[in-house]
Amino acid sequence: MNLQRLQINPSWTLFLDRDGVINRRLAGDYVKKWDQFDFLPGVLDAMQLFHHHFRRIIIVSNQQGVGKGLMTEIELQAIHHQMTAEITKSGGKVDSVLYSPHLNSELSVMRKPNIGMALKARKLFPDIRFKQSVMAGDSLSDMIFGKRCGMKTVLISHESTLAKMYHRQIDYLYPDLISFANDL
């Protein structure tokens, strides 16, 4: 892992995972309604800082709860609408929220660690350059997704064990999103 600060400029794009990075992950469950969505500490402040550092901010999230029939895409989109409204109200921004409703067993190109959501983001915003992008997430699949696209990767985790085991996929390690934002 790199011990130096990440060097970016305002033309860069930030890709963010959702569960475990922006909101509290529900152990063994999925956020199915807005009242279950709980921003992690410092996230709204981090999003405000990111707004000043990145041209684009794209959320990319595997949401197989839809594929399992535990929620509809309309319910998921309502959660994302409220999430982006709260981020905007706090001075941040989100350019797009992309998600894969597919089950892991479907092996969809849209499901991380596959790069379908990154390609979709670049189709929506042709100015995105993956070599000038960062993927911040809390799982190995997020890091592989970023590396497959040629992005810098930031693991958001208190677990240094994962970082040691998969150090080739992880460029930077921070305990939370606000620590990453404050280091830019």
Q: Torsions phi, psi of 166, nearest 5?
A: -120, 40
**Residue 48, pLDDT above cutoff 80:** yes
Of the residues 17, 138, 142, 171, only one is catalytic, namely 17
pLDDT in tens, 103-137: 999 999 999 999 999 999 999 999 999 999 999 99
What pLDDT sits at residue 8? 94
What pLDDT sits at residue 3? 63
**Residue 167, pLDDT above cutoff 90:** no
**Residue 150, pLDDT above cutoff 90:** yes
State both tokens at 32. 């199915």
Q: Is 176 a catalytic residue?
A: no
What pLDDT sits at residue 161? 78
Q: Are 154 and 173 in contact (CB under 8 A)?
A: yes
CATH class assigned to 13-182: alpha beta
Q: Where are the domains of the chain?
A: 13-182
Q: Torsions phi, psi of 51, nearest 5?
A: -55, -30
Of the residues 19, 138, 142, 171, only one is catalytic, namely 19
Q: Is 17 a catalytic residue?
A: yes
Angle (CA) 6-11-17 rounded to 5° is 65
